Amino acid sequence: MSEVALTEEVVDRGARLQGDVILRLSNLESSYGPVQAIRGVSLEVRAGSIVTVLGANGAGKTTVLKTISGIIDPQKGGVWFDGEEIQRRDPDWVVRRGISHVPEGREVFPLLSVRENLMMGAFTRRDGDGVTRDLERMYGYFPILAERRSQEAGQLSGGQQQMLAIARALMSRPKLLLLDEPSLGLSPKLVKEIFDIVRRVNREEGTTMLLVEQNASVALATADFGYVLEVGRIVMEDRCDRLLEKEDIKEFYLGMKGDSVRGERRWKRKKQWR
């Protein structure tokens, strides 16, 4: 990147971090039976920004997203979105309110075509013309989906299914997109391709994004602001450019100390979905 482009990026990032708070979690606690998965999580997401939550396996990342989208109800604390308290609402209601969730492990409908999967993402909408236009927009962002539009989603590669899951979530025209580990099990090249598109959608559509990731290097390169989650608690928060400079982050999340081979091959060792 040239120096001018870099300066513009820093200015843009600053502007995105000045927006109104569109999502606020306050002291959120969620459990699975006796297992308390998140233990008082508070965070803020500003409109138009990309915020990431980093954490290792089992830290509680997926639970945070499931609590926001209404899949599980919190025991304590609150979720405020766009001026309204939304915890304990049904997932359907949350989607209509403007939050769309790309779940961990993609979960496309394998026997439906790519186009039918995308149309499922628009189930809340009544504006047929708008849906058709958005379908074309998604094919513009993800040309491979246009090529495969009539093919069954189950026949796509892992990376293509991840693209389909993201595009499907965007078909509801969300104000906030929740992304659960989109890099999981994908090669570095595909991860880069997908995150480039995620950034483009954020810039061009103004879609606010909350991204949870174990892959800290790609998440910190993509997001504006980051939180670090350990065993259900936020232990660090800062702008991503500052997090990248912190020794703890370098050591534990970027794998820059000691075990460099592991750092390089990490994506292959992660759990695979297909």
Ligand X SMILES: Nc1ncnc2c1ncn2[C@@H]1O[C@H](COP(=O)(O)OP(=O)(O)OP(=O)(O)O)[C@@H](O)[C@H]1O
Angle between helices 188-205 and 128-141 (to 10 degrees): 140
63 binds, among Mg ion, ligand X, none (CB under 5 to 8 A by kind): ligand X
Q: In the complex, what is the shortest distance from the CB of residue 61 to Mg ion, in angstroms, rounded to a whole number? A: 5
> Toward ligand X, which CB reaches closer, 60 or 255?
60
> Toward ligand X, which CB reaches closer, 242 or 271?
271
Q: How far is CA 120 from CA 99, 123, 164, in A?
A: 15, 5, 11
206 binds, among Mg ion, ligand X, none (CB under 5 to 8 A by kind): none
2 binds, among ligand X, Mg ion, none (CB under 5 to 8 A by kind): none
In 3-state terms, what secondary structure has residue 36?
Answer: strand
222 binds, among Mg ion, ligand X, none (CB under 5 to 8 A by kind): none
> Toward Mg ion, which CB reaches closer, 61 or 168?
61
Which residues, including other chains, have CB under 8 Å from residue 246's CB and lie 6 or more apart? Answer: 236, 238
Work out the angle at residue 107's Cα, subtended by the Cα atoms of residues 135 and 41, and round it to the nearest 5 degrees: 100
Q: In the complex, what is the shortest distance from the CB of residue 62 to Mg ion, in angstroms, rounded to a whole number? A: 3
Question: Which residues of this chain interact with Mg ion, rule CB under 5 A?
Answer: 61-62, 104
Using CB positions, name the residue nearest to Mg ion.
62
Q: In the complex, what is the shortest distance from the CB of residue 186 to ligand X, in angstroms, rounded to a whole number? A: 15
100 binds, among Mg ion, ligand X, none (CB under 5 to 8 A by kind): none
Task: Report the sign of the C-alpha dihedral through residues 85, 89, 93, 96, in that order.
Answer: positive
- The single-letter code of the amino acid at 139 is Y
- Read off the DSSP letter of residue 112: S
Which residues, including other chains, have CB under 8 Å from residue 50's CB and lie 6 or more apart? Answer: 16, 198, 199, 202, 208, 209, 211, 222, 223, 224, 225
Question: Which residues of this chain interact with ligand X, rule CB under 6 A?
Answer: 32, 35, 37, 55, 57-63, 104, 214
In 3-state terms, what secondary structure has residue 23?
Answer: strand
- Read off the DSSP letter of residue 147: H
> Toward Mg ion, which CB reaches closer, 52 or 122?
52
Q: In the complex, what is the shortest distance from the CB of residue 143 to Mg ion, in angstroms, rounded to a whole number? A: 29
User: Residue for token digits 């990731």?
Assistant: 213
Q: In the complex, what is the shortest distance from the CB of residue 96 to ligand X, in angstroms, rounded to a whole number? A: 25
Torsion, CA 154, CA 155, CA 160, CA 163, rounded to 10: -30
57 binds, among Mg ion, ligand X, none (CB under 5 to 8 A by kind): ligand X
Q: In the complex, what is the shortest distance from the CB of residue 180 to Mg ion, in angstroms, rounded to a whole number? A: 6
> Toward ligand X, which CB reaches closer, 37 or 191?
37
Q: In the complex, what is the shortest distance from the CB of residue 14 to Mg ion, in angstroms, rounded to a whole number? A: 30
Contact 216, 183 (CB under 8 A): no
> Toward Mg ion, which CB reaches closer, 104 or 134?
104
> Toward Mg ion, which CB reaches closer, 118 or 211?
211
